[in-house]
Amino acid sequence: MRRPFSGVGLGLGGLLGALVLLHPLLLALAPLLFLWQGVPALLGFALVLGRGLLLPLPEPPYGVRVEGVFTVREGFTQWEGHRLRLKHFPPLADGVYRLKGYLAPPQPRRNPGGLDERAWLLAQGVRGVFHVEQAEALAPLPDPRAPWRERLTAGLSPQVGEVVEGLVLGDKRGLEDAYPLFQKAGLAHLLAVSGQNVGYLAATLALLPLGRWRYLLALLLLPAYLWLAGPSPSLLRASLMAGLSLLGLFLGLGAAGVFQALGLALFLQLLLRPEALLGLGFQLSYLAVLGLALVLPALALPSGARGWLLGGLAASLAAQLPLIPLLLPHFA
C-alpha cells in the first residue's frame, strides 16, 4: 500500500539529520527510521543533513584583536558575517558603540550541571565571543517595536500597562518589584510568552465573521506577533504549527493534526538551523507539546467542574513530566 506523505516522518528524518551532524555514529539508526517512516523520513534526513554539511556555521578567527564601531542588540553584535556574543561588565545596553577587544571560542561545560556556553551559543547561531576591553557609547539604538508596544498599552495606567506587556509580550523590564509576587503566587509562567499566546491570538482571530479569509488574516498576523514579542524557540514552534493549520483551513484542506504539524514545524526549524537542536528551550518546547499530544486524547474525563479540574491537572502533568530528564542535569 502506498504510504501517504507524513509530516511526522519529515520531522523525525530532520531530527536524525541534525543528530548525525552532532554525533555521526547515530547514522546507524537511519535504515530503521527509513523502514518505519519511508520516503518522508529520507527526505527530511537528507535535507537537514545536507543543509548542515553544505552550509555549516562558520567559525570566526579566534585570538584576533578587533576594533571598530558596532551595533549591540541584546548582548550580541555582528562582525564580518559572524554573530558574536559580547563579554563586558557591566553588560552593554542596546546601542552603537566603539569597541576594542579580542575574539575567543565559547567555553564548554566545566562542571556537572553547569552552563555549556558553547552549546547554548551554537543553538543561537553563534560560534565566537567578543571579549570587550574598551567600550565607548556613541548613540542609543532605537527600538522599532517601541511604538507598537506603546499602542498596546495606550490608555492604561503605567502599572497595568507593564503587567499587560508582561502577559502579552513576555516583557518583564517594568516588573522588577511585581515579579517576585508572581513567583510567590506560582504565576511567574504567565509572564513568559509561549505557544499558549500564539494559540489565543490565532483562536481569537479565527472567530471573526470573515469566512475562510479569517484564517488568512490570522496567518498574516502571526509573523507580526513573532516580531513584536521576539522569536523564542517556543513561539517559533507554535507559530509554525498554527500557521500550518491556518493555511490548511484557508485552502479548504482542514487543520493539520497535532503530530503532523509538530513534525513539520520540527523539520522547518532544523532546516533553518540544525544547531537549534542544542538549545534547551527548543528541546523543552517540543517535548512539552509531545507529552500533551500523547496523553490528553487518551484520557476519559468526567463532565462538569470535576472534569475541568482534572483536565487542567492532567495537562500540566503531561507537559511537565517529559521535561524532567532534561531539567535535572541543569537545575538539580
- Convert the pLDDT of each residue in 46-99 to its tens digit: 999 999 999 999 999 999 999 999 999 999 999 999 999 999 999 999 999 999
Nearest to 44 by CA among 69, 79, 8: 8
Among 15-29, 249-263, 303-317, which range has the highest average pLDDT?
15-29
Question: What type of residue is 16?
Answer: L
Res 2: pLDDT: 41
Mean pLDDT of 293-319: 79
Pairing of strands 65-72, 82-87: unpaired
Higher-confidence residue: 183 or 73? Answer: 73
| Grid coordinates of 123 | 543553538
Share of the chain above pLDDT 70, in %: 91
Segments making up each domain of the chain, as ranges: 7-54, 65-140, 146-190
* pLDDT for 31 beyond 70: yes
Res 1: pLDDT: 37
* pLDDT for 171 beyond 90: no
CB within 8 Å of 28: residues ≥ 6 apart: none
Q: Which of 5-9, 251-255, 286-290, 302-306 has the lowest mean pLDDT?
A: 302-306
Higher-confidence residue: 321 or 78? Answer: 78
Farthest CA pair distance, the chain: 68
Mean pLDDT of 139-166: 80
Res 55: pLDDT: 94
Are 220 and 259 a contacting pair, CB within 8 Å? no
Mean pLDDT of 123-127: 95
Nearest to 191 by CA among 167, 164, 225: 167
Res 115: pLDDT: 81
Mean pLDDT of 208-233: 89
Owner of C-alpha cell 522547518: 268
Res 276: pLDDT: 95
Distance in angstroms (rounded) separating the CA atoms of residues 145 and 257:
33
Pairing of strands 95-104, 65-72: antiparallel
Res 279: pLDDT: 93
On the CB side of 25, CA atoms within 13 Å amount to 0
* pLDDT for 233 beyond 50: yes
Are 99 and 70 a contacting pair, CB within 8 Å? yes
Q: What is the mean pLDDT of the chain?
A: 87
